[in-house]
Structure 1
């Protein structure tokens, strides 16, 4: 057991001994001085705490100190009544206060007791009751505030747990203080009763058993009683004051001394008013020299306090300039400058109402929903979208940036609606001609008065927030593969590892590194294939990763494993899948043009042949556009990857599938053929 723990246990045992066994006078003097010292330490600690919970042991300590003081009262009373002696400390205190007049000394002692009991103790008890009541009443509100901050993402789960624990500790503390204050009140009452017992029975014992005269009994026992009362009531007064300080303490960054001086002297001009008032009092029969001296001290203090803020402002400016200079020289400042946000949405000043909630803007809420929607659709955690105004843009213009690069921009007219119609030549409604930014469809900005008319004429009418939300969604989808880096891939792997640890262990770090997996996932996203089904993807990587680490080939294997997902993405309501097939001649040309090297395979095709194939594909795509069909090219598995590479730069919107990526039950309808002359 530690020495500190042992000392507390021995102290409690000593209190029990004091209640039963008579103690010599010298030991009583030592214990009395210890009692006064402990009371001084308690009040000093209470004055230097910044919040009540920093002295959370105070309720229990208050009980022990009260019991210790009552034990001393019992011991000194026994010694006074039996020996007319309670040690040098009691005798000295009594002689000092009483002097030559026992009655005056007793009156002074009674005043001290009244102050301690009626003012300090009663006040501390009342404050403890009110603090406990209000703390308990405020608990539900504090808990709801913590939950709200946690749900809003302002604090972490760990911080929320710490704040909840603090709220519970505050409630326990103030509840304990409410009970502990009753001990202080009982101690004060017991002290008064013990004083009366000492005086009355002391006089009787002195006259009957000690053969003292009435005057001698009064002088002796009055001196000892007042001395005993003083050495008992002074620590009690300090403890009661400490109780009041602790329960009335409000959490601040400083202690009681600094808070009192800082807040009491926060208005220096008021010291001049106080100085003038004291000086005017000197014109009365009050001592003029004394009032003038005090007034001068107050005025000089006010002058110094008024100069202090100016000096603090100068020091603060110098310190800020120095910190700014050091910050510009620091290498960390350069690092912060080169960092960029994954997704940025910048807008002109006229579009501020889109994001200002006070003006009804809900774009921030829409962005949250976009991130959730894309997480479900793509299986990718979309980074936070940084939204900011940019005065360099036109007032109604906005732009979208991915990894610091602008990917698209658009223009909005607030208080208007964007009207789109399938009929490209329909001009039956007045408006400002424009194009829908996400898909490039012809559209018009119309006034709010024309909204109902446009809808009746078959136009699709959307408001500006929906326009920009759709545009932002499509841009993120289109460039999702750029948002998936190695760090984001590692997060996806860690998430999968929580439920499929064996599968992850079989794939990475051997035979595939995080970078290899990232390339496969990025290629899938680039062709708008969701990576949400990570278990199936990793199953395929586990099967074929040992044979090759070529990301292109691995991607093809994964696509074939994801055939049900790809099929459901393209086929709806069991309708035939309309596709453009590739002729046998083109298939043969592709197969003969594939060059295989130790560093991987690549397409080495004659330029004229490439132009013929591209021209044929463009003709087919134009025909499909007229029929409002999605351009899908179906080919054999060995050439799919290379055909996609050929079309990627010129026709990125064309979907290229292999036969192995479709479910067997899907009905395929060929509506065109890619051929060459």
Structure 2
């Protein structure tokens, strides 16, 4: 056994023996001073701990100190009753605290007992009880949080074990404190009982055994009783305060002094208000400025010093941040951050800053939020965050749109003007700056405010600059939606469907298709502006057909057939009639004969002359449809639809190509043109 273990063991046994073995008065004085020293040390330790577990031995110490204090009470009581004397410490506390007046000593003792028993001990007991209850209730959630961090790779196994151990120790600590607080409560009750025993028993013994007269016996035993009560209650009060500090201590990076100075005095301007209030109190009340003005000036000076210190600290922190930024730029690792490419970027010249500046009335940010919502509803795609920034290299009124770092569109705006698009005939009275509408490439003019009303009366479509930008950005996103959906975005969509349809996802991924194969199908649908919002139907179709083929082109055709109702409603203007440009038998035969098979899938191989003829014939029919104000739609057989689409999208990307199997039976199809060789 080590020496420290032996000392603790002998000390505990000695405390028990003190209750039955008489102790000499000099030794009793030493033990009383030791009791006060231990209590003061415990209080200082409690004030300097950062969290409760730093002093986890406190419940056991609370029990030992309470037992030690009660043993001292028994020893002093024995000496008081037997010899009418309990040492110099007890006598000093009894006569000195009361100033020689017994009544004052009794009042001071009773106040200490009330403060400890009702205020500190009861409050600490309640806090410890609630903390223990909530700590136990929170254990399952904390354990799950640790498991989640471990599975995500945020912590290793060793850190997980340490955090689990800390949670268990917290629960044990607060549970022990809940029980240990009862020791302090019982000690306060025992002190009152011992007080009565010393006073009444001593008074009787003094008169009967020691033959004191009434007043001498009352004075002697009253002073000794008060001294004994105070010498035990002051350490008890210190330890009760330490218990209250421990159970009410929240985890922080500093001790009690650091937290008080950093949190209580973090608003130095409030000290000016307090100083002014104290000064007014002395000015308008009988207290007088002589008593309040010095303290008021001291508070004001303290607020000024604190404010100056905080300003200096902020400057130092700013300098430190700047130095760290400079150091990061100089470090080789800083280049890695430059490799990040934003999915969508919107850059504009300095003349268009009012569009994005909310303080100048700009609502571009709100419009972008609505664009993302619109794309989610129309395409079923979660559009990534759009990076907005000004670019001094652009013209003042110019803007560009980038997809993955590459410029895909640009335009110019005139603020304080409106973009007017002709209804098909020109009105010479509407005068403006000729331009081209950026989203659809239509001829338009920029007009000022006085010309707006005249243009609207003439049938022009008039829009403001923010609407022009919003429309252009929306069309660019729709046109390049297939580039914005990658494997990570596909995984997010799959996880969203998994919450409501776990059986479907478990069957489809990864046994039938991988995330990459699924992403290719979704990208092909978005490339032709087919919404992927109905993911359940898409995944059901892929689960049915994925066992027979892995070719994304063929799987896309099956999915399109499954989405026939959606596709029919998307391209039929009236809802029951669809006007189409059909493909003649000769052209269908020519395309079918030109299909070649390879290890990478099938593709079409047409000679340049035949390809040019198809372009010419198709362009003629598409132009006729556009001039008649109708959306051109090409209709062909299911076997060649995807090959014809490969031909069409090279020059007419916005012209949809449908197959007969993608249309609902109840839709009336009207052929307004035929493309044939």
Asked if these proteins are the same fold (TM beyond 0.5), I'd say yes
Q: For residue 394 of structure 1, what is the aligned residue in structure 2?
A: 395
Q: How does 1:248-397 map to 2 (within 5 A)?
A: 253-258=253-258, 321=323, 324-325=326-327, 328-331=330-333, 333-397=334-398
Q: TM-score, normalised by structure 2?
A: 0.69
1:594-630 CA-to-partner distances (Å, cap 9, x unmatched) read 1123432111111011111101111112111111111
Q: Contact 2:94–2:224 (CA<8 Å) still a contact in 1?
A: no
Q: How does 1:414-433 map to 2 (within 5 A)?
A: 414-433=415-434
Say if 2:475 is the partner of 1:471: no
Say if 2:411 is the partner of 1:410: yes
Q: For residue 527 of structure 1, what is the aligned residue in structure 2?
A: 528
Say if 2:108 is the partner of 1:113: yes
Q: For residue 238 of structure 1, what is the aligned residue in structure 2?
A: 238
Say if 2:90 is the partner of 1:91: no
Q: Which moved more, 1:203-212 or 1:235-244?
A: 235-244
1:540 positional shift: 2.1
Q: Contact 2:563–2:662 (CA<8 Å) still a contact in 1?
A: yes
Say if 2:588 is the partner of 1:587: yes
Q: How does 1:111-190 map to 2 (within 5 A)?
A: 113=108
Q: Which moved more, 1:34-43 or 1:375-384?
A: 34-43
Q: Contact 2:50–2:251 (CA<8 Å) still a contact in 1?
A: yes
User: Matches of 2:553 and 2:97 in 1, distance apart?
Assistant: 107
1:194 positional shift: 7.2
1:129-156 CA-to-partner distances (Å, cap 9, x unmatched) read 9xx9xxxxxxxxxxxxxxxxxxxxxxxx
Q: Contact 1:47–1:257 (CA<8 Å) still a contact in 2?
A: yes
Q: For residue 460 of structure 2, what is the aligned residue in structure 1?
A: 459
Q: For residue 576 of structure 1, what is the aligned residue in structure 2?
A: 577
Match of 2:426, SS state, is coil
- Check 1:573–1:648 CA distance in 2 against 1; reply closer, same or farther (3 A cut): closer
1:484 positional shift: 0.7
Match of 1:530, SS state, is coil
Q: Contact 2:439–2:475 (CA<8 Å) still a contact in 1?
A: yes
User: Matches of 2:493 and 2:48 in 1, distance apart?
Assistant: 50
1:181-230 CA-to-partner distances (Å, cap 9, x unmatched) read xx99x999997997688457634531333324679757863663354133
- Check 1:591–1:448 CA distance in 2 against 1; reply closer, same or farther (3 A cut): same
- Check 1:435–1:197 CA distance in 2 against 1; reply closer, same or farther (3 A cut): farther
Match of 1:651, SS state, is coil
Q: Contact 1:377–1:530 (CA<8 Å) still a contact in 2?
A: yes
Q: Contact 1:437–1:471 (CA<8 Å) still a contact in 2?
A: yes
Q: Contact 2:567–2:663 (CA<8 Å) still a contact in 1?
A: yes
1:504 positional shift: 2.6
Match of 1:672, SS state, is strand
Q: For residue 283 of structure 1, what is the aligned residue in structure 2?
A: none
User: Matches of 1:530 and 1:639 in 2, distance apart?
Assistant: 22
User: Matches of 1:658 and 1:459 in 2, distance apart?
Assistant: 37
1:639 positional shift: 1.4
1:443 positional shift: 2.5
User: Matches of 1:632 and 1:478 in 2, distance apart?
Assistant: 17
1:410 positional shift: 2.2
User: Matches of 2:397 and 2:341 in 1, distance apart?
Assistant: 24
Say if 2:202 is the partner of 1:202: yes
User: Matches of 2:363 and 2:462 in 1, distance apart?
Assistant: 19
1:446 positional shift: 2.8
Q: For residue 508 of structure 1, what is the aligned residue in structure 2?
A: 509
Q: For residue 276 of structure 2, what is the aligned residue in structure 1?
A: none
Q: Contact 2:583–2:676 (CA<8 Å) still a contact in 1?
A: yes
1:64 positional shift: 8.8
- Check 1:78–1:408 CA distance in 2 against 1; reply closer, same or farther (3 A cut): same
RMSD between superposed Cα atoms in Å = 5.2
1:485 positional shift: 0.6
1:40 positional shift: 3.3
Q: Contact 1:77–1:198 (CA<8 Å) still a contact in 2?
A: no
User: Matches of 1:193 and 1:472 in 2, distance apart?
Assistant: 84
Q: Contact 1:81–1:201 (CA<8 Å) still a contact in 2?
A: no
Match of 1:645, SS state, is helix
Q: Contact 1:123–1:244 (CA<8 Å) still a contact in 2?
A: no
1:481-531 CA-to-partner distances (Å, cap 9, x unmatched) read 001111111222222233333333333323322211111110000000011
Q: How does 1:601-616 map to 2 (within 5 A)?
A: 601-616=602-617
Match of 2:418, SS state, is strand
1:286-318 CA-to-partner distances (Å, cap 9, x unmatched) read xxxxxxxxxxxxxxxxxxxx9999999899968
Q: For residue 300 of structure 2, what is the aligned residue in structure 1?
A: none
Q: TM-score, normalised by structure 1?
A: 0.69
User: Matches of 1:506 and 1:82 in 2, distance apart?
Assistant: 88
Q: Contact 1:632–1:657 (CA<8 Å) still a contact in 2?
A: yes
User: Matches of 1:57 and 1:382 in 2, distance apart?
Assistant: 56
Q: Contact 2:565–2:663 (CA<8 Å) still a contact in 1?
A: yes
Q: Contact 1:95–1:227 (CA<8 Å) still a contact in 2?
A: yes
Q: For residue 653 of structure 1, what is the aligned residue in structure 2?
A: 654
User: Matches of 1:92 and 1:379 in 2, distance apart?
Assistant: 88
Q: For residue 555 of structure 1, what is the aligned residue in structure 2?
A: 556
Q: Contact 2:422–2:461 (CA<8 Å) still a contact in 1?
A: yes
Runs of at least 5 residues in structure 1 that lack an aligned partner in the other structure: 1-14, 133-172, 268-305
Q: For residue 228 of structure 1, what is the aligned residue in structure 2?
A: 228
User: Matches of 1:548 and 1:50 in 2, distance apart?
Assistant: 64
Q: Which moved more, 1:383-392 or 1:448-457?
A: 448-457
User: Matches of 2:454 and 2:217 in 1, distance apart?
Assistant: 112
- Check 1:259–1:476 CA distance in 2 against 1; reply closer, same or farther (3 A cut): same
- Check 1:246–1:541 CA distance in 2 against 1; reply closer, same or farther (3 A cut): closer
1:619-673 CA-to-partner distances (Å, cap 9, x unmatched) read 1121111111111111111211111111212111111111111112211111112
Q: Contact 1:80–1:221 (CA<8 Å) still a contact in 2?
A: no
Q: Contact 1:595–1:604 (CA<8 Å) still a contact in 2?
A: yes
- Check 1:312–1:576 CA distance in 2 against 1; reply closer, same or farther (3 A cut): closer
1:399-455 CA-to-partner distances (Å, cap 9, x unmatched) read 221111122122233333333232252343233332322222223333334444433
- Check 1:661–1:248 CA distance in 2 against 1; reply closer, same or farther (3 A cut): closer
1:371 positional shift: 1.6
Q: Contact 1:92–1:227 (CA<8 Å) still a contact in 2?
A: no
Q: Contact 1:559–1:661 (CA<8 Å) still a contact in 2?
A: yes
User: Matches of 1:224 and 1:314 in 2, distance apart?
Assistant: 60
User: Matches of 1:398 and 1:606 in 2, distance apart?
Assistant: 41
User: Matches of 2:311 and 2:261 in 1, distance apart?
Assistant: 15
